[in-house]
Amino acid sequence: MKIILQRPVEKLGVPGDVVDVADGYARNFLIPKGMAAPASKGAVRHSSRLKQAHDKRVQQAVTEARATADQLAASPLRIQARAGEDGRLFGSITVVDVAQAIEQTAGLTIDRRRINLPEPIKSVGTHEVAVHLHPDVNASVTVEVVPAK
């Protein structure tokens, strides 16, 4: 059965795609859940507009993510933490601390789950932290940990 996707469906396509699927899959799952519509002559014309609108939204999201990445890369984050004489921190800097520093410094709200920090920062110095903003856009943020006075 030919259907037109209304929403993104994993391993099938994006909105506006005309795909051929099993009749039962279309009738029992995709169409009742509003993920697809049966393909008719008028609906196929409508699918091209759906596809254009989806492509425009994706392009706008990528543009916004790149602008955010440029803004994050422009200025390093300074985080003050209590440290011993040897440069080791009393405690550690976690993704929550990095997210708060981004919000204070750049004025951007970044979800902590998008910040990739393999292990907490436990020493004074400069560290690189990756931020996943979009499937196509990753940003690298420089975090300077300085001892609190």
- Sorted by where each begins, the domain ranges of the chain are 2-64, 75-147
Q: Is the pLDDT of residue 134 over 80?
A: yes
pLDDT at res. 22? 94
Q: Answer for the pair 142, 106: CB distance below 8 angstroms, yes or no.
A: no
The pLDDT confidence band at residue 142, using thresholds 50, 70 and 90, is: very high
Q: Is the pLDDT of residue 126 over 90?
A: yes
The pLDDT confidence band at residue 36, using thresholds 50, 70 and 90, is: very high
d(CA 140, CA 34): 38
Mean pLDDT of 116-136: 91
**C-alpha to C-alpha distances, 101 to 14, 31, 44, 96, 122, nearest whole angstrom:** 36, 45, 48, 9, 16
CATH 3.10.430.100 fits 75-147, yes or no: yes
- Quick one: CATH architecture of 2-64? 3-Layer(aba) Sandwich (3.40)
Q: Is the pLDDT of residue 75 over 90?
A: no
Q: Is the pLDDT of residue 30 over 90?
A: yes
